[in-house]
Structure 1
Amino acid sequence: MPDHHTLEETERAMKDHVGNLPLDFAAANALSNLFRAANAVRSELTNRVLRKHDMTWTGFVVLWVVWIWDGMETRHVAESADISKATLTGVVRTLEGRGMIAREGDEKDRRLVRLRLTSEGTELMERIYPEFNAVESEIISQLAERRVSTLTKTLRDVVNAAEGQNSP
């Protein structure tokens, strides 16, 4: 039996293995598929776009967050990128060494540090993001526009439920 299994095979194996337990299989299957989809997309984007720019997923996410918000305090970057402050420190050190990001102290509170993209970081994001989005578009292209809209709303609802927020 191969080590890589389809989603259906995995669902079947799970049910065979734990089918006697009082579980919500619909919830388990939905979130297992969500997790696997997220990992597959992340892997595809890393392999096809980020690797050729010598960029890790986490490095890209940090740059993206700082880029779209035109700078942000480090604790909020870590939260937005869903990484620890310790991980962010290492990522920022690497990006800083590559000339992509700069730290700025807060004039009112020296304990606070803000991150901003350098001109090199901005140029990199303006080059990478269209490539990144082209792969995103290719991945989602098998779905009709209506299904993409439904998927987006459904995923937003899942995130809001996981984060304890109400849907708008």
Structure 2
Amino acid sequence: MNKNQAFPWDHPRFRSWIGVARACQLMQQAMTRAIADLDIKTPHLDILINLYRFDGISQQELAHKLLVGRSNMSMLLPQLEKRGLIERRPDTKDKRVLRLSLTETGRDLTMQAMHIQTGMIERIMSQTPADRCLQVAEAMEDIIHILQTMETSEDEA
């Protein structure tokens, strides 16, 4: 880099990207602390919330939704199953596929965790006008679309 080139952190897009990344990291840390009393970590919460929303989802579908590999699922799911929070059942049509569901205990814990999470999001986001929140959401949705398109193009190449 020569003296006439701007540093990356001086560029508005770079600054924006770093801001989003830092906000995500700080929120992750805050959520970790907030749900510690429930004896779950944020990856567990991601799983539980998705099972709450998509009862009977397969392990592969869940891994895809969470953008993680099957090896991550293989580590996390047994922990939740051992605690009696989830159940894994064979698919009725394809015995190789396991379907995931929350147990009643898992549903209760997920409701508690979602209450904590939504309260935290509300406290944080209420500091920003709704129209600005929507602008950020739309920008992030655009970025997600671009990244997914790039991934699909790379897979096809």
| TM-score interval, smaller chain | 0.7 to 0.9
Residue matched to 1:123: 108
Please give the alpha-carbon distance, in whole angstroms, between the structure 1 residues aligned to 2:51 and 2:116: 19
Note if contact 1:106-1:113 (Cα within 8 Å) is conserved in structure 2: yes
2:66 aligns with one of 59, 81, 102: 81
Please give the alpha-carbon distance, in whole angstroms, between the structure 1 residues aligned to 2:85 and 2:2: 48
Note if contact 1:66-1:116 (Cα within 8 Å) is conserved in structure 2: yes
Residue matched to 1:99: 84
1:40 aligns with one of 7, 17, 26: 26
Shift in CA distance, 17/86, structure 1 to aligned 2, threshold 3 Å: farther
Note if contact 2:45-2:113 (Cα within 8 Å) is conserved in structure 1: no
Please give the alpha-carbon distance, in whole angstroms, between the structure 2 residues aligned to 1:18 and 1:56: 46
List gaps (5 residues or longer) in structure 2.
Answer: 151-157
SS of the aligned residue for 1:164 comes to helix
For the aligned residues, what is the CA RMSD? 2.4
Shift of 1:102: 0.5
Note if contact 1:58-1:81 (Cα within 8 Å) is conserved in structure 2: no
SS of the aligned residue for 1:107 comes to coil
1:111 aligns with one of 67, 88, 96: 96
1:28 aligns with 2:18: no
1:149 aligns with 2:134: yes
Q: Aligned pairs, how many? A: 149
Please give the alpha-carbon distance, in whole angstroms, between the structure 2 residues aligned to 1:99 and 1:93: 10
TM-score, L = length of structure 1: 0.80
Note if contact 2:81-2:87 (Cα within 8 Å) is conserved in structure 1: yes
Please give the alpha-carbon distance, in whole angstroms, between the structure 1 residues aligned to 2:2 and 2:20: 21
List gaps (5 residues or longer) in structure 1.
Answer: 1-15
1:65 aligned partner, one-letter code: N
SS of the aligned residue for 2:149 comes to coil
Shift in CA distance, 62/41, structure 1 to aligned 2, threshold 3 Å: same
Residue matched to 1:72: 57
1:139 aligns with 2:120: no
1:147 aligned partner, one-letter code: R
Please give the alpha-carbon distance, in whole angstroms, between the structure 2 residues aligned to 1:19 and 1:88: 48
SS of the aligned residue for 1:108 comes to coil
Q: Equivalent pairs: percent with the same residue?
A: 20
SS of the aligned residue for 2:96 comes to coil
2:61 aligned partner, one-letter code: H
Please give the alpha-carbon distance, in whole angstroms, between the structure 1 residues aligned to 2:148 and 2:18: 18
Shift of 1:149: 1.6
